[in-house]
Amino acid sequence: MTRHIVLAALLWSSVAASGSEVYTAAASHQSGSFFVEVDALVGVDVAQTRALLTDYNNLGRVNPAIRESEILLTREPGDYRVRTLTRACVWFYCKHIEQVQDVIESQDGSITAVVVPELSDFRHGYARVNLWQEPGGTRILIRSEVEPDFWIPPLIGPWLIKRKLLSEALETAENLERVAKKAPIPHNTPPQKN
């Protein structure tokens, strides 16, 4: 997921940002894959948080790096194929990154997204988001892994990509609260077939 998705620091601990707290934020790189983990509390109830994260046609609301997002296929409620187009810039190097994921909204409340490599700019990838209500808002645990299928500048490139992925995840957590306070959140509605 996102996208996600997704950089001011590699590790943040108990950072307050407009009512939200980030307990853990880490990014790593190993064998060509990038791993991100974020554990945060946002001052929004779990239903609003879930509605924003599953509004697949409007993911740019919570992650401005996402330029386009759309549901390509609805197999059944809670089982979607979602496409995103993201503009990622690291210093002087910018790239439009296309990602198609099969997304499952599970009965336990988790959201899992698996990259479809043949339709994406990634060799493989997944993201899992767990949400639960706490007294101060919604606790969000995001774990993701992606392996890009595009050129990354050697030496400093992996370090910069880790920072970028982490900052986007942290920005998404902060934006959930900001967007939820601005306007009502629509429930996910698949595109109409003509």
Task: Domain count for the chain, please give it.
Answer: 1
pLDDT of 105 over the 80 cut: yes
pLDDT band at 8 (very low <50, low <70, confident <90, very high): very low
Closest among 138, 133, 142 to 113, alpha carbons compared: 142
CA atoms of 35 and 131, how far apart (whole Å): 19
pLDDT band at 185 (very low <50, low <70, confident <90, very high): low
pLDDT of 183 over the 70 cut: no
121-131 confidence digits (pLDDT tens): 999 999 999 99
Q: Say if residues 134 and 144 touch (Cβ distance below 8 Å).
A: no
pLDDT of 140 over the 70 cut: yes
Closest among 84, 63, 82 to 164, alpha carbons compared: 63
Question: Of all residues in the chain, what percent carry a pLDDT higher than 90?
Answer: 46
The 3-class SS string of 23-76 reads: EEEEEEEECCEEEEEEEEEECCCHHHHHHHHCCHHHHHHCCCCEEEEEEEEEEE
Residue 6, in any domain of the structure = no
pLDDT band at 98 (very low <50, low <70, confident <90, very high): very high
Mean pLDDT of 107-124: 95
Q: Say if residues 7 and 165 touch (Cβ distance below 8 Å).
A: yes
- Element containing residue 182 per DSSP (H, E): helix 157-182
Residue 192, in any domain of the structure = no
Structure tokens at 125: 């990838």
Residue 30, in any domain of the structure = yes
Residue 120, in any domain of the structure = yes
Residue 127, in any domain of the structure = yes
Residue 48, in any domain of the structure = yes
Residue 178, in any domain of the structure = yes
Average confidence score pLDDT of the chain: 80
CA angle 113, 95, 56 (to 5 degrees): 30
Closest among 131, 164, 132, 130 to 146, alpha carbons compared: 164
Residue 118 main-chain phi, psi, to 5 deg: -70, -15
Q: Which stretch of 46-55, 56-65, 106-115, 155-164 has the lowest confidence by average pLDDT?
A: 155-164
DSSP state of 186: P
Q: What is the pTM of this model?
A: 0.79
Higher-confidence position of 144 and 152: 144
pLDDT band at 168 (very low <50, low <70, confident <90, very high): confident
Structural domain span for residue 19: 15-182
pLDDT band at 100 (very low <50, low <70, confident <90, very high): very high
- CATH number for 152: 3.30.530.20
27-82 confidence digits (pLDDT tens): 888 888 989 888 999 999 999 999 999 999 999 998 888 999 999 999 999 999 99
Residue 4, in any domain of the structure = no
CA atoms of 92 and 114, how far apart (whole Å): 29
- Element containing residue 158 per DSSP (H, E): helix 157-182
pLDDT of 3 over the 50 cut: no
Residue 105 to residues 1, 22, 81, 112, 130: CA-CA distances in angstroms? 12, 24, 12, 7, 10
